[in-house]
Amino acid sequence: MQDDLLDFVGDIYEASYKPRHWEVVMEKLCLLTQSRSSVLIIENQNSGSRKIISIHGISRILALAYNAGLGRYDNTFSLIKTPVNDVTILPAEELKNNSPSYYQFILKPADIGHISAVNLHKDNEIRVGLAVHRSFNAPAYTDKEIRIMRLISPHICRSVLIQRELGNARSEAHSLMSLVSKMPMGMLLIDKYGEVKFCNSVAEFVISKHKGLSLVDNKLQAHNRENQKQLEFALQNVLDVLHSETEQDKPTVTTVSFSHPQFSFPLVLFISAAEESGRHPMHSGEERYATVYISDPGGKMNISAGQLAEIFALTNAEAQVALCLVNGLKLADIAEHNGTALETVRSQMKAVFNKLGVNTQQDVIRIIIQTMIPLSGNPE
């Protein structure tokens, strides 16, 4: 019996990352407890709705009826008086009086006469319950089966919670993947070997359009040797910061620009060493990634100067200067572009520093990039 329980615990935890394996768990639980059927149920604490995670020995039609709304008549949770992970024995006749609809439409058709139930978990979001059943003509559960339920219940509880966390992580990763794929700037993730692990659609478009940069063997490649050395040096510095065990006094963003004779504006890369960029939820494990943002010099960003002016209390002229900076223009280029004196642009940039609470152009770029993400779906 001990070996059977150990093997069973392995099956329980396998179900945490293979949801279909719950069917195996429910079937084996019936064998161990000599039960006719078993069910694992989750209740939404906000809506009060109940859904079956997995069942064995119960008609699929009855399970569908339960999930469709009949489960609201199930008073099993309220009848469990024992502490969490302890076992309550419920004769069906008791449920007949307390839950006549549940008894009539679920228990009686499924020939459920004896219930051994456990309240596995309860928090502000969910409540999880487990039950095994015997038919009306079967004997009641003995101490042996109750002991088995007590032994395995904590493991089933942990497995369900692990499954929930994995589901949340997958959902978060999916949402983030969708978000960064729609970013108005190009974005890439670079691992410690210099290989591109993620590249959104904007980055793919910019790289294919601008000859200053390309992807060769899944690595960024500048169009000439000098720019390639500049790129490799900047990436290595950022990756060293990410993988260092000690605090390093280095900028959080390194800016690299590539000119090409066929293009009027340089292609600008912002390589981030921010910790939150390294531990990216789209990737598992402890691997850290450098985040590379690419400014499309020929494209329009999905954020206006008016939006930036409103967010950071900038004047329109100051916001225009900040956006030009993100687009890779130097202060002299901005002055020429706006038809103003260089000293005027410097004064406007100083005002931007003060209002954003930063001291460098790199910090201005970082803050605006971060601001662009939540605004990317709401262009003016």
Please state, in angstroms and rounded to a whole number, the distance separating the CA atoms of residues 299 and 277. Answer: 25
pTM for the structure as a whole: 0.48
Q: Note the Cα 41 to chain centre separation in Å.
A: 24
Residue 53 and residue 129: Cα distance in Å, rounded?
Answer: 10
Please give the Cα distance from 327 to 190 (Å, whole number): 22
CATH 1.10.10.10 domain locations along the chain: 301-380
Which CATH superfamily hosts domain 182-299? Answer: PAS domain (3.30.450.20)
Domain with CATH 3.30.450.20 in the chain: 182-299
Q: What is the pLDDT along the chain (380 residues), one digit of tens a residue?
A: 666 777 888 889 888 888 889 999 999 999 999 999 999 999 988 888 888 999 999 887 778 778 877 777 777 777 777 777 788 888 877 778 777 877 887 788 888 889 999 999 888 888 899 999 999 999 999 999 999 999 889 889 888 888 887 777 666 555 555 545 544 567 888 888 889 988 887 788 788 888 888 999 999 998 888 889 988 988 888 888 776 655 544 445 677 777 778 876 677 777 875 444 334 444 444 567 888 877 655 554 556 677 778 777 889 899 888 888 876 678 888 888 788 899 999 999 999 998 887 888 877 876 776 555 444 443 33
Q: Which of 40, 58, 63 is nearest to 149 (CA)?
A: 40
Q: What is the dihedral of CA 84, 86, 90, 96, to 10 degrees?
A: 0
Q: What is the pLDDT of residue 201?
A: 76
Give CA angle at 166 (162, 169), nearest 5°.
140
Token digits for 194?
């210099």
Residues of the chain with CATH 3.30.450.40: 2-172
Instruction: Specify the CATH superfamily of domain 2-172.
Output: GAF domain (3.30.450.40)
The answer to whether 208 touches 223, Cβ cutoff 8 Å, is no
| Measured distance CA(179)–CA(228) in Å, rounded | 30
Considering the domain delimited by 301-380, tell me its CATH architecture: Orthogonal Bundle (1.10)
Got the DSSP string for 119-182? EEEE-SSEEEEEEEEE-TTSPPP-HHHHHHHHHHHHHHHHHHHHHHHHHHHHHHHHHHHHHHHT
Residues listed for the chain: 380
Alpha-carbon distance 286 to 247, whole Å? Answer: 18
